Each structure stands twice: as structure tokens, then as C-alpha cells.
């Protein structure tokens, strides 16, 4: 199997060769000060999100709500566990490469201990922020062109791995946590400050993970590098934000109806997503055991939003997915109103139903608008003698197999 490193080098090479709409080549790929600040903000949101959830779990425990406490904490553990598994696997895959792996030379025993302590993502953040600070502030003008490209290339590789791990954590911890807390608030008719903080930071963590992931992974495509905060990115962000939030709210109404309705539904959707990943024969990981975990994680992500699992043409799969998505969203308020007529006049029911309907419509409109008119079209070509070549060979490895937003 080809190493993961080949993909990184070729991805950055393709990135430098991609053509913009004006026909000009994008050749100046830099890890900027803004990118460094955004990484620091991502770390802050990550830490605050985890601590608010842990604090909420402890509050439930002190209030003798043991099931709520256990479920809240279990989502935190699930996100930490999966991200540590993949972080450790990727560090081991790149252990001997100083460009891709900032902890190269570290013993395998120490690497295992770091991840057993749950510090894998924090280690990645530390090295990325440290290396990025040195590059963009201290030695920004002291490197020659070739050295600068190599260093910035390495920083982008670290950032892309980190963004993928944050995406896993967002959908394994923040998304179900948000659903659980919304249900608890609706069930008891009120919320504490800690609950509101948990929901707010879970929402921000999901949104930030999506934006950061898209920024890192799609950097090789036209417009995305030149307009990271432009109209295409805003429309794409609204598409994801509206579809995910409306879907979580629809699940919450089904939970109010009966938890025994949502659990089988989510289990079936997870199973379908996992089976689809299996049928596509994903080859993301270097070992079969890790690949099985990856497919299970992808299946869970697909219960909240659509992702292109293998970077292929998925128009039919996307249409089928969003038909099922719309059916769930439109059915959940109707079922609750039918089987619990007393909630029809409740303020929360009217507000949430309105959010579900508006979020679904706006999200689908943004989806169609983005993919019909704003989605960047790739114009790639292979490097030749004039443009220069890279030292690694084929576009293979984990980055080429990342989920496509």
C-alpha cells in the first residue's frame, strides 16, 4: 500500500497548479497569520465545548440524574476515544517523516501514553501552533522560496489531519450532545445556564469544524483559496448549518414523542450509512480494523449530514439522502402533533416546527444554489518539466480518501 505521504505532497502540488476562473495559476500557497489565529480559536472552542459538557455531566450527577449524567459523559468519551485512535494511527504511519510528523523520533511507547491520556489532539494543536508561530512571525522572511514552500506544505498537512479529527469529534460528541440537551430542555420545560452553554458551544464546535475542514481540504480547488470568506463559502456554510440544525431539531421532536422511536431510527440510518461505506470499499486506513472503525464513524456522520465518502460523483446518492432527510424533518412535527395533541399549542412546538421547516427549505435552497452555480470546478493537470515535479509519486493515501464536503 502506498504511504500516506504521497497524497500530501501531490495534493499540495495540485494545489499550486490549480487554475482560477481567470486562467491564472495559484502558486503562492502560504500558511498565514489569519490561519494561525483561526487554529487558536478552534482550540479554544474545542476546550470550552468539552469542559462545558463535563461540567454539565457533573451537575446532573450532583442532582442525582444518573442516566443524563452517564449519557452526557459517554458522548464526550466517544469523541475522545475515536479521535485518539485515528490520531495515534496517523502518527505511527508518518512516524519517520519530519515534515509530516512533528513528533517524529518519539518512542512508540510515549506516543501510546499520550493518546491513552486523551492528549492526541492537544499534542497536534501544540505542534501546529508552535511551528506556525515560528514560520509566520519569527522566520517569515528568512527562508528561501523552496524552503518556504516545503515548510508551509508541512503546516497544511498537519492542519488537514487535525481538521479531520475535529470533524470526527464534532459529529461523535457535539452533535449527539446537542440533541440530548435539547431533548432534556424540552422534556422538563426549562434549562440551566450550564445547559445553555453546552448547547451553544456544541453548535459553535460543529459549525467551526465544518468550516475549518472545508478550508483545509478544498484548498486545492479554484476560488476556495482566493475567497475563503466569500459568497461560495457563506452559501455552503448556510447549507450545512441549516440542514444539520433542522435535522437535530426533528430528532428532538421524535424524542419528545418517544425515545423508543428515535433509537431504532438512528440505528437503522447508521447501519445504512455504514453499509454504504462498506459497499464503496473505502480504503482510508492502513489496517482493516481501523477501516472498520472508520466506516462505522462515517455511518454515524451520515445520520446528521451528507458527505461524499469516496470523492466520486454522488448526485444520485445525494438526492436519495435528502429525500429521506426531508421526509424525516417534515414527518416529525406531524407525528408529535398527531399522537400528542396537547403540544400543538405549546410555544416550543410551534417555534421548533417553524425552525425545522425554514431550516430545511433554506438549507436545500443553499445546497442547490451552491452546487449549481458556486461549486468550484476543478481544472487539474499533471506537473511537467516546466512546472517542476515533486519528490513523491502518486495521489494516494489518507488525504485523497478524506470525506468530501
Q: How many angstroms separate the CA atoms of 292 and 403, rounded?
A: 15
Q: How many angstroms separate the CA atoms of 56 and 127, rounded?
A: 30
User: Is 60 exceeded by the pLDDT of residue 17?
Assistant: no
- Examine the domain organization and report whether 244 and 211 are in the same domain: no
Domain membership of residue 395 (yes or no) is no
User: Is 50 exceeded by the pLDDT of residue 396?
Assistant: no
Number of domains present in the structure of the chain: 2
- Examine the domain organization and report whether 213 and 231 are in the same domain: no
Decide which of 198, 220, 242 is a domain's last residue. 220
pLDDT of residue 131: 87
Instruction: Give me the mean pLDDT over the 373-402 stretch.
Output: 47
Higher per-residue pLDDT: 155 or 313: 155
Domain membership of residue 26 (yes or no) is yes
User: Is 70 exceeded by the pLDDT of residue 248?
Assistant: yes
pLDDT above 70 as % of the chain:
77
Higher per-residue pLDDT: 182 or 311: 182
The 10s digit of each residue's pLDDT in 198-211 is 888 888 778 778 87
Grid coordinates 499550486 are at which residue?
Answer: 16
How far is CA 286 from its chain centroid? 21
Decide: 355 and 243 in contact? Cβ < 8 Å: no
Domain membership of residue 274 (yes or no) is yes
pLDDT of residue 380: 44
- pLDDT band with cut points at 50, 70 and 90 for residue 73: very high
- Examine the domain organization and report whether 265 and 366 are in the same domain: yes
| Range name among 95-104, 181-190, 353-362, 388-397 with the lowest pLDDT average | 388-397
Q: What is the largest distance, in Å, between two alpha-carbon atoms of the chain?
A: 73
User: Is 70 exceeded by the pLDDT of residue 387?
Assistant: no
Domain membership of residue 388 (yes or no) is no
pLDDT of residue 370: 85
pLDDT of residue 324: 94
- Examine the domain organization and report whether 179 and 258 are in the same domain: no
Decide: 401 and 24 in contact? Cβ < 8 Å: no
How far CA 149 is from CA of 27, 338, 340, in Å, comes to 10, 61, 62
- Examine the domain organization and report whether 187 and 207 are in the same domain: yes
Domain membership of residue 252 (yes or no) is yes
User: Is 90 exceeded by the pLDDT of residue 344?
Assistant: no
Grid coordinates 487539474 are at which residue?
Answer: 380
Instruction: Give me the mean pLDDT over the 25-36 stretch.
Output: 68
- Examine the domain organization and report whether 75 and 196 are in the same domain: yes
**Mean pLDDT: which of 86-90, 254-258, 284-288, 326-330 is highest?**
326-330
pLDDT of residue 188: 75
pTM: 0.81
The per-residue b/e assignment along 128-146, b for 16 or more CB within 10 angstroms, e otherwise, is beebbeebbeeeeeeeeee
- Examine the domain organization and report whether 56 and 159 are in the same domain: yes
- Examine the domain organization and report whether 17 and 121 are in the same domain: yes
Domain that holds residue 75: 1-220
Domain membership of residue 193 (yes or no) is yes
Decide: 43 and 205 in contact? Cβ < 8 Å: no
pLDDT of residue 15: 35
- Examine the domain organization and report whether 43 and 97 are in the same domain: yes
Higher per-residue pLDDT: 397 or 317: 317
Higher per-residue pLDDT: 138 or 76: 76
Domain membership of residue 22 (yes or no) is yes
Domain membership of residue 404 (yes or no) is no
The 10s digit of each residue's pLDDT in 104-116 is 667 788 889 999 9
- Examine the domain organization and report whether 6 and 137 are in the same domain: yes
- Examine the domain organization and report whether 285 and 318 are in the same domain: yes
- Examine the domain organization and report whether 255 and 230 are in the same domain: yes
Amino acid at each position: 500500500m502506498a504511504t500516506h505521504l504521497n497524497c500530501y505532497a501531490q495534493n499540495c502540488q495540485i494545489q499550486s497548479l490549480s487554475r482560477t476562473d481567470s486562467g491564472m495559476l495559484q502558486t503562492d500557497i502560504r500558511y498565514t497569520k489569519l490561519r494561525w489565529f483561526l487554529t487558536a480559536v478552534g482550540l479554544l472552542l474545542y476546550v470550552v465545548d468539552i469542559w462545558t459538557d463535563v461540567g454539565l455531566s457533573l451537575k446532573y450527577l450532583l442532582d442525582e440524574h444518573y442516566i443524563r449524567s452517564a449519557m452526557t459523559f459517554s458522548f464526550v468519551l466517544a469523541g475522545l476515544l475515536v479521535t485518539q485512535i485515528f490520531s495515534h494511527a496517523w502518527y505511527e504511519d508518518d512516524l519517520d517523516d519530519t515534515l509530516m510528523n512533528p513528533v517524529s523520533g518519539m518512542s512508540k511507547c510515549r506516543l501510546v501514553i499520550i493518546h491513552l491520556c486523551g492528549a492526541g489532539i492537544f499534542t497536534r494543536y501544540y505542534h501546529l501552533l508552535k511551528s506556525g508561530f515560528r514560520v509566520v512571525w519569527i522566520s517569515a522572511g528568512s527562508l528561501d522560496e523552496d524552503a518556504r514552500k516545503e515548510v508551509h506544505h508541512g503546516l497544511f498537512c498537519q492542519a488537514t489531519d487535525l481538521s479531520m479529527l475535529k470533524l470526527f469529534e464534532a459529529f461523535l460528541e457535539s452533535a449527539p450532545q446537542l440533541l440530548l440537551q435539547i431533548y432534556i430542555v424540552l422534556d422538563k420545560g426549562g434549562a440551566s445556564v450550564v445547559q445553555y452553554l453546552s448547547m451553544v458551544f456544541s453548535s459553535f464546535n460543529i459549525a467551526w469544524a465544518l468550516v475549518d475542514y472545508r478550508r483545509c481540504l478544498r484548498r486545492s480547488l479554484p476560488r476556495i483559496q482566493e475567497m475563503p470568506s466569500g459568497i461560495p463559502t457563506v452559501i455552503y456554510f448556510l447549507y450545512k448549518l441549516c440542514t444539520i440544525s433542522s435535522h437535530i431539531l426533528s430528532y428532538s421532536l421524535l424524542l419528545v414523542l418517544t425515545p423508543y422511536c428515535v433509537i431504532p431510527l438512528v440505528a437503522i440510518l447508521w447501519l445504512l450509512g455504514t453499509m454504504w461505506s462498506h459497499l464503496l470499499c473505502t480504503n482510508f486506513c492502513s489496517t482493516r480494523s481501523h477501516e472498520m472503525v472508520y466506516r462505522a464513524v462515517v455511518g454515524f456522520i451520515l445520520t446528521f449530514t451528507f458527505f461524499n465518502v469516496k470523492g466520486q460523483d454522488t448526485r444520485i446518492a445525494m438526492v436519495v439522502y435528502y429525500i429521506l432527510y426531508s421526509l424525516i424533518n417534515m414527518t416529525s412535527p406531524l407525528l408529535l402533533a398527531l399522537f400528542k395533541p396537547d403540544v400543538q399549542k405549546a410555544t416550543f412546538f410551534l417555534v421548533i416546527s417553524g425552525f425545522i421547516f425554514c431550516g430545511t427549505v433554506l438549507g436545500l435552497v443553499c445546497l442547490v444554489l451552491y452546487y449549481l452555480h458556486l461549486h468550484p470546478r476543478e481544472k487539474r493537470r499533471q506537473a511537467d518539466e516546466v512546472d517542476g515535479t515533486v519528490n513523491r509519486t502518486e495521489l494516494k493515501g489518507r488525504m485523497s480518501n478524506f470525506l468530501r464536503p
